[in-house]
Amino acid sequence: MSVITLTTDFGSGSPYVAAMKGVILSLNPAATLIDISHEVPAQDIRCAAVVLDEVSDRFPGGTVHVAVVDPGVGTERALVFARIGRQNYVAPDNGLLSRLARRTPPAKIVRLTEHDYWLQPVSATFHGRDIMAPVAARLSLGLDPDHLGVPLERLVMLDWPEVRLGPGRIEGSVLLVDSFGNLVTDLGAEVLPGFPGAAQARVFCRGHLVTGLSRTYGDSAPGSLIALVGSSGRLELALVGGSAAAAIQASAGDRVMVTWPEI
Amino acid sequence: MSVITLTTDFGSGSPYVAAMKGVILSLNPAATLIDISHEVPAQDIRCAAVVLDEVSDRFPGGTVHVAVVDPGVGTERALVFARIGRQNYVAPDNGLLSRLARRTPPAKIVRLTEHDYWLQPVSATFHGRDIMAPVAARLSLGLDPDHLGVPLERLVMLDWPEVRLGPGRIEGSVLLVDSFGNLVTDLGAEVLPGFPGAAQARVFCRGHLVTGLSRTYGDSAPGSLIALVGSSGRLELALVGGSAAAAIQASAGDRVMVTWPEI
Amino acid sequence: MSVITLTTDFGSGSPYVAAMKGVILSLNPAATLIDISHEVPAQDIRCAAVVLDEVSDRFPGGTVHVAVVDPGVGTERALVFARIGRQNYVAPDNGLLSRLARRTPPAKIVRLTEHDYWLQPVSATFHGRDIMAPVAARLSLGLDPDHLGVPLERLVMLDWPEVRLGPGRIEGSVLLVDSFGNLVTDLGAEVLPGFPGAAQARVFCRGHLVTGLSRTYGDSAPGSLIALVGSSGRLELALVGGSAAAAIQASAGDRVMVTWPEI
């Protein structure tokens, strides 16, 4: 089992991604390399943190996920290995793993300090290639992460907005705008009113109101703004056949409120 | 042999693609995953149908092609397995396979109904991840497609424009605009006048006239609008060193006519 | 060992890339396929030449790198195999390999003439699929490159700007704009003044002046235009948290000068 995934803000088609893959394959030619995304907006740590939290659990246990959104490269920020659930992560300790760690406390965190596992020389500006890629390759070959450096107690945690629950009312935020323009929120299905009560739910975002929760996109007419529990198990706002983000000018961080009559 | 390809409208860099790959590798870690395209315009079933028809034959016999352009996800539209020629397909039955099936009648069609081969729970909005990905992984491991559900007689067929042939004249359509802006038509080399008669052919599209068929791009001056038999074995209109689509404002569906003097 | 990389100007998501991969996997199902980039600007041979020179060395020795930026496809330009350092290349002989070959003279060059190793028929417009992909697959299976055709003495070399060295002064050019908008130059660290002298260096580009060389991005305030030795070991101009290319309207080919007081 040697799956290694890559998540970066380098852009699709960036030769920097290819350089990391070359380094990994030079150390472990049998690694299976998977791109999670290279379209994270430049230096958008929060977006990458949400993407990792959405997707990485789907991979086989023991997968090594390398995440490089690293505006502080070459400064004093740490690089870390973390085991969270069944998955392994190699990333700068700048909040990239903080959505994952908020949900599941890491079973192990190691600060990467052992130079022997790195490329030499290490450039000051591309630790993805010179440190994270070779470390991931060696982990995929079975290296014990304890050899990588010194244990850390906790990861750097970003301040993520809290979901507020009240009687007949919950408030949350847009976490992610997907490529269809759907607004994926942090409101899990478990806090939403179930069907049939859902028909009377009112969803507010950016001054727009949606009444009732839909089951899927195809149940409403094109151009309708709808709310539904999406594939991530959380509330989404969607425009049927279009982009909700464009239609209501919403983006990550915008507040979303759901109210419903108490039954 | 376990190649699985993915064709979607999710966009390059979409974490939804990565989620599907994670599901597949969790079931078959030895699968070879290939992206055909994730740049199909959102919900453009016709474009994806043409892409699949252009490319999927090039893969090893027994490849499983998963196609997810699925505006009807969660509604009553069926999901199907189809064997067409030497290739296997898993897709919504919404016309995605209808260019392939028009050329080569499917040897087998199965409606996916057996929940045992799906992830549980199945979201209402992402059958690509929850049904198609695990079904493809299991097919790549050797599962008999008959186990997947119930036989179907025929696929949903879209209405594709017909090529009209007359003496010294054929009429067809632009099928696809490629990333260079070349206009790929549905007029096969077999219905075009051969060389040297080709020198006198006249090609009309969007009010523009090209005289003579070229052999390749480099034979004409930059800026020339040319017509040639492209890599798909069909007539293409191209602008040397530029985009024919932009230059003559053409897009998929536009009519193309070729005339030539009878010899 | 059978890594094959692809570098093209087809665009991410192009089905043409997938067609090449299908051809390769049909011949060598065990090949590991890696995309270096498909975002080379259309027909920009110089950009692809720089990308190949930046990245291909990172791959395992014996990797086959296929590069298809080929405005002359179907004309008399040659297709070649070249061994440069530990790497193998298959490309049109149009300058694509000329940055690599400028640094390391090829150990072997073979003009591809043996049709037996190609797909039949060969289209006039897509030699990437019909010649280069099958040749690469066969090389990855161990075919002796001498079988591919006839030896060539030298590759077509593009005219690359020279670095000019003077006392306290060097002049070079921007080679590449990366996806962050960083301007990567041809001025290697070995010709730049070392620290601490670097603090007094003055870097000029497009009428802008940067004083002193930084060590990494995070050492300066957002919005600062800085100069530093980047991950390629060469001078880069960067805008902290933004795009230097956009800020100073610079692009590949622009001249860069560095001066410093003689010590």
Provide the Cα torsion C119, C124, C127, C128; round to 10°.
-110
Q: Which chains are adjacent to chain C, needing at least 3 Cβ pairs under 8 Å? A: A, B
Structure tokens at C92: 């049109």
| Residues near B255 by beta carbon (within 8 Å), at least 6 away in sequence | B171, B172, B173, B174, B205
Q: How many CB pairs under 8 A join A and C?
A: 99
Structure tokens at C194: 């070392």
Model confidence over B23-74: pLDDT tens digits? 999 999 999 999 999 999 889 999 999 999 999 999 999 999 999 999 888 8
Contact B39 C11 (CB under 8 A): yes
Average pLDDT over residues B210-234: 90
pLDDT at A1 over 60: no
Global pTM exceeds 0.90: yes
Gap from A70 CA to chain C (nearest CA, Å)? 9
Gap from C119 CA to chain A (nearest CA, Å)? 28
Gap from A121 CA to chain B (nearest CA, Å)? 31
pLDDT at B1 over 60: no
Exposure of A203 by Cβ count < 10 A (0-12 exposed, 13-18 middle, 19+ buried)?
A: buried
Number of neighbours of residue A80 by Cβ within 10 angstroms: 25
Chain-wide mean pLDDT for chain B? 93
At C263 the pLDDT is 60
Q: How many CB pairs under 8 A join B and C?
A: 98
Distance CA A256, CA A235 (A): 10
Q: Are A6 and A34 in contact (CB under 8 A)?
A: yes
Q: Are C23 and C137 in contact (CB under 8 A)?
A: yes
Model confidence over A30-87: pLDDT tens digits? 999 999 999 999 899 999 999 999 999 999 999 999 999 998 888 889 999 999 999 9
At B94 the pLDDT is 97
Number of neighbours of residue B79 by Cβ within 10 angstroms: 24
pLDDT at C138 over 60: yes
CB-CB neighbors (< 8 A) of B1 in chain C: 29
Model confidence over C197-214: pLDDT tens digits? 788 899 999 999 999 999
At B218 the pLDDT is 82
Average pLDDT over residues A160-188: 92
Model confidence over B176-188: pLDDT tens digits? 998 889 999 999 9
The residues that bridge with C164 in the sheet, in sequence order, are C171
pLDDT at B103 over 80: yes
Model confidence over C44-61: pLDDT tens digits? 999 999 999 999 999 999
The residues that bridge with A116 in the sheet, in sequence order, are none
Peptide bond before A222: cis, by omega within 30 degrees of 0? Answer: no
> How far is CA B24 from each of CA A62, A204, A206, rounded to the nearest angstrom?
15, 37, 38
pLDDT at B263 over 70: no
Peptide bond before C134: cis, by omega within 30 degrees of 0? Answer: no
Nearest CA in chain A to C53: A15
The residues that bridge with C35 in the sheet, in sequence order, are C6
Q: Are B155 and B101 in contact (CB under 8 A)?
A: yes
Average pLDDT over residues C64-93: 95
Lowest mean pLDDT among A213-217, B140-144, C16-20: A213-217
Nearest CA in chain A to B75: A218
Q: What is the DSSP letter of C128?
A: I
- The SS3 assignment for A90 reads strand
Lowest mean pLDDT among A107-111, C81-85, C158-162: C158-162
Structure tokens at C173: 């050019």
